[in-house]
Amino acid sequence: MRQIQQWRANSSCYNESHEQWAETVQRFVEQEITPNIECWERAGEIPRDLHLKAAEIGILGLGFPEVYGGVEEGIDRFHGMVTGQELANAGAGGLLAGLMVHAVGLTPILTLGSDEMKQRIAPPVLRGEKLISLAVTETSGGSDVSQLRTRGECQGDHYVINGSKTFITGGMRADYLTVAVRTAGDGPQGISLFLIETDREGLSRTRLEKMGWHCSDTANLYFDDVKIPVENRIGPDGGAFLGMMENFNGERLGIAATATAFSFVCLDEALTWARQRETFGKLLIKRQVIQHKFAEMLRKIHATSAWVERAAMTMDQGIGNGGELALLKVQATRTLEFCAREACQVLGGSSFMRGGKVERIYREVRANAISGGSEEVMLDFAARSLGLSR
């Protein structure tokens, strides 16, 4: 039994329904992902039909409103956790980033968009037919979102957008973009969100090469006099921060949960190896120095898992705290950093060879620790919002 399965079996947060869902996603991973993942890593993207297949078994629509083709009945936040845990078992963060990017791209539309926009965009996205990404980051200031410079000028019944975005997950393949644009003066109040179709004239994109997450396409986006109708504004003029902050909390919990799932994968991979690898006449697992590596990994993973569960429950009750989620994200990505390192040490030279789960996860640590709010910015934000800086 994998470590994550043992954790779920001993946790009161998971029940029979979660385990049934875990089996469904596990089969999907075994049949559709594991045999192909290294090929997609080398190709630099996942195929579009994977979105269709994932939608067919309910992965894309899980937790989204049924009226748009989602699955809500009998679903709670822990079904979403299970999806991440089982997809993580493929040992490729790029897969989660590329396949599940609609979770951050679509959510602002469902929170702030008009009924017409929700009807138009959500169903094809949840069916896996159309892809959507979230474009906030700019070279002018990544962490400091309030400094973004992409501008939208209102000209009667349309806006004209000029500027650029960088590091956008799914940006090369996206059909739709949820884009943060400055429509008024300086600071956060001047930023609005827009839905921009990627076939609009004046929009171009270039692919970025990365250290990890190879199967997730990442793009620079350029807007050169891109004309979009006023109806494509998501929510009120200057209302972007509202939608983005809510999105950030969900995204940070999601990153913390999947980083923990990847930590479990590192532990499992290293444990399997240590139980069969013999050096100097003994199995690795019989050495105290190796056993302590596993004990330390488990200590950190269990503490983080318990915190993830607590955060999920408080968020469900509507009492989630942004500062605590920021700290949890740091906790989870540092746990992942530790586990990826220790798993590499146990696996030895093979951990450095291309194609294994741990090799990929090790290269992906920084993507978790930087995207969705970097460690430094998370600690700074937590110190302020939890009253520590007073």
Ligand X SMILES: Cc1cc2nc3c(=O)[nH]c(=O)nc-3n(C[C@H](O)[C@H](O)[C@H](O)COP(=O)(O)OP(=O)(O)OC[C@H]3O[C@@H](n4cnc5c(N)ncnc54)[C@H](O)[C@@H]3O)c2cc1C
**Binding residues vs ligand X (CB under 6 A):** 133-137, 142-143, 167-169, 213, 218, 367, 370-371, 374, 376-377, 380
Specify the residue, 167 or 223, whose C-beta has the smaller distance to ligand X.
167
List of long-range contacts for 5-9, beta carbons under 8 Å, 24+ apart: 7/264, 7/302, 7/305, 8/82, 8/85
Specify the residue, 112 or 347, whose C-beta has the smaller distance to ligand X.
112
- Using CB atoms, what's the residue nearest to ligand X? 142
Specify the residue, 89 or 169, whose C-beta has the smaller distance to ligand X.
169
Specify the residue, 180 or 297, whose C-beta has the smaller distance to ligand X.
180
Q: How far is the CB of 123 from ligand X (least distance, A)?
A: 22
Phi, psi of 71, rounded to the nearest 5 degrees: -125, 115
Specify the residue, 151 or 158, whose C-beta has the smaller distance to ligand X.
151
**Backbone dihedral region for residue 131 (phi beyond 0: left; psi -120 to 50: alpha; all else: beta):** beta
Alpha-carbon span 185 to 188, nearest angstrom? 9
Alpha-carbon span 269 to 170, nearest angstrom? 28
Q: How far is the CB of 135 from ligand X (least distance, A)?
A: 5
Q: How far lies 377's CA from each of 13, 19, 255, in Å?
A: 30, 36, 15
Q: How far is the CB of 52 from ligand X (least distance, A)?
A: 22
Q: How far is the CB of 235 from ligand X (least distance, A)?
A: 17
Q: How far is the CB of 214 from ligand X (least distance, A)?
A: 11
Asked if 234 and 246 count as a contact pair (C-beta separation under 8 A), the reply is no
Q: How far lies 194's CA from each of 125, 295, 303, in Å?
A: 17, 48, 39
Environment class of 74 (CB within 10 Å of its CB; exposed 0-12, middle 13-18, buried 19+): exposed
Q: How far is the CB of 61 from ligand X (least distance, A)?
A: 21
Specify the residue, 42 or 282, whose C-beta has the smaller distance to ligand X.
42
Q: How far is the CB of 72 from ligand X (least distance, A)?
A: 25
Counts for the chain of helices (H) and strands (E), in that order: 14, 10
Q: How big is the CA angle at 99 (ends 245 and 130), to the nearest 5 degrees?
A: 90
Specify the residue, 191 or 297, whose C-beta has the smaller distance to ligand X.
191
Asked if 47 and 40 count as a contact pair (C-beta separation under 8 A), the reply is yes
